[in-house]
């Protein structure tokens, strides 16, 4: 299974954008998740993280107030809302998460789960133009 980002593209300064992150195989659920960004020619940087139930979120100081991470567990999707886009927001945005796949263990007659930790998506490119 892998993560799939969408919603990137070319946007104007000051506009808003929402990125989405889903799983390629629907049998997996997204647990704790995070967004990262890699500006051109720079290192990948942490942006925000969200707990599996969505109650706990943390942000990098540089994006607090403009970025909002959220999730829809029914849709098994993670979002990153970016307000008031600036040229420095240009980059490739990556979703990172721990995944779980529940399965029924017939031998033990109980539900079990397979975990995939630290899974990355291919990235969604965002270009902010003035």
Q: Give residue 130's pLDDT.
A: 87
Q: What is the mean pLDDT of residues 40-53?
A: 97
CA dist., res. 82 & res. 18, Å (int): 6
Residue 34 pLDDT > 90: yes
CA dist., res. 54 & res. 74, Å (int): 12
Task: Give tens-digit pLDDT for 118-127.
Answer: 999 999 999 9
Helix (H, G, I), strand (E, B) or coil at 27: coil
Q: Give residue 75's pLDDT.
A: 96
Task: Give tens-digit pLDDT for 71-118.
Answer: 999 999 999 999 999 999 999 999 999 999 999 999 999 999 999 999
Q: Which residue's entry shows tokens 């990098």?
A: 60
Task: Give tens-digit pLDDT for 55-65.
Answer: 999 999 999 99
Q: Give residue 76's pLDDT.
A: 96
Q: Give residue 1's pLDDT.
A: 87
Which candidate, 122, 40, 44, places its Cα nearest to that of 88? Answer: 40
């Amino acid at each position: 299974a892998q993560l799939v980002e969408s919603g990137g593209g070319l946007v104007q300064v000051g506009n808003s954008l929402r990125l989405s992150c889903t799983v390629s195989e629907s049998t997996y659920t997204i647990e704790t998740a995070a967004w990262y960004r890699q500006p051109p020619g720079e290192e990948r940087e942490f942006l925000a993280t969200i707990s599996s139930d969505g109650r706990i979120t943390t942000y990098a100081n540089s994006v607090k107030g403009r970025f909002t991470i959220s999730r829809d567990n029914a849709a098994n999707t993670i979002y990153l809302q970016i307000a008031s886009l600036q040229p420095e927001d240009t980059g490739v945005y990556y979703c990172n998460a721990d995944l779980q796949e529940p399965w029924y263990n017939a031998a033990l007659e109980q539900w079990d789960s397979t975990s995939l930790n630290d899974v990355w998506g291919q990235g969604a490119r965002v270009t902010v133009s003035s």
